[in-house]
Structure 1
Amino acid sequence: MDDATLWWVLAGLLVAAELASGTFFLLMLALAAAAGALAVYAGLAFSGQLLAAGLCALLTVGGWAWVRLRRRAASPEANPDVVLDVGQTVQVSAWQPDGTALVRYRGADWLAVASGPHGERHPGPHRIRAVQGNRLVIEPVDHP
């Protein structure tokens, strides 16, 4: 059995294991095995094949892990697909000395705080940036 066949068999086994377990990372490793097989066709020695498979594994697994971390870092409380209030506007009539404001939204009074540690606090229209429990995190409408 030649080297390319061994790489393709390894790729097939990894795909089968991924189908059995549902682990997406095994699919990335199967792509790396396919890269090893393609390296055989390119005429690379075994060390070159391992390097191609290793680089492909590093890029695909690392890239997928990075994408998952970025998704997890994005707060669901500020995601308009999860919280439909995000992006809506409210009117702030006055700010309290403690940095909060009482705003009327959806027929009820809500406690609102400015976004950021030293958010701008002036009366007027504000956009809901996130909902944290029963508090609205807001920013001025003219804020970029």
Structure 2
Amino acid sequence: MWIWFVIAAFALILELFSGTFVLLLICLGAIAAGVASWLQLDIIIQLALLAIIPVIGIFVLKRMGKFHLRNPLASEADSNLNLDIGKSVFVEKWDDERRLALVKFRGAQWQAKPADNYEKLISGKHRIIAIRGISLIIEPVGGR
């Protein structure tokens, strides 16, 4: 019986580090399995509770719009994580061959690349729309 509560505690501790609801749902499933074990129900019922409760929880959270499997690359354009998103830079000259420019931003020189839908490389004021590695992804301000 106690093993289910140890699994629940372990899942809860890991949940604190991950920030997803998946391990929290596994924790709830393990607690339900522990209660089933305390009630001396069959091991099959305990395992079923451990498996079914997280699955039902995911469906409920998805219906409520609270559960999203995030694209790990989505954070590169998330202005809540990256405060530089939306800031302006000035492009003096593009290297047409390599499709990049060097821009001054926050007192340092950065490599800037055009956004995927940015066809014609023009100089002037640009807006940062993402940061990939050490490169700013930019698009012109005021249309293309």
Scaled by the length of structure 1, what TM-score is found? 0.52
User: Is residue 91 from structure 1 mapped to residue 90 from structure 2 by the alignment?
Assistant: yes
Aligned-residue CA RMSD (Å):
4.5
CA distance in 2, matches of 1:32, 1:100: 51
Larger Rg: 1
Q: Is the 1:29–1:61 contact (alpha carbons within 8 Å) kept by the matching residues of 2?
A: no
Q: Is the 2:5–2:31 contact (alpha carbons within 8 Å) kept by the matching residues of 1?
A: no
SS in 2 for 1:119: coil
The count of corresponding residues between Structure 1 and Structure 2 is 124
CA 1:137 to 1:31, structure 2 compared with 1: closer, same or farther past 3 Å? same
Deviations 1:50-96 (A, max 9, x none): 65553213345898xxx79626x136554445543232111224422
Gaps of 5+ in 1: 1-5, 39-45
Equivalent residues in 2 for 1:1-144 (5 A)? 12-16=5-9, 18=10, 22-24=13-15, 27-33=24-30, 51=48, 53-60=50-57, 70=70, 73-74=72-73, 77-98=76-97, 99-116=99-116, 119-120=118-119, 121-128=121-128, 129-130=130-131, 132-133=133-134, 135-142=135-142
Identical counterparts, % of pairs: 30
Deviations 1:33-60 (A, max 9, x none): 455669xxxxxxx977765553213345
Deviation at 1:100, TM superposition (A): 1.7
Deviation at 1:31, TM superposition (A): 1.4
Deviations 1:6-53 (A, max 9, x none): 7xx67544334x28x833366533412455669xxxxxxx97776555
Q: Is the 2:114–2:138 contact (alpha carbons within 8 Å) kept by the matching residues of 1?
A: yes
**Amino acid paired to 1:102:** L
Deviation at 1:137, TM superposition (A): 1.8
Name the one with the larger helix percent. Answer: 1
CA distance in 2, matches of 1:29, 1:132: 34
CA 1:26 to 1:14, structure 2 compared with 1: closer, same or farther past 3 Å? farther
SS in 2 for 1:74: helix
Question: Which moves more between the two structures, 29-38 or 89-98?
Answer: 29-38
SS in 1 for 2:94: coil
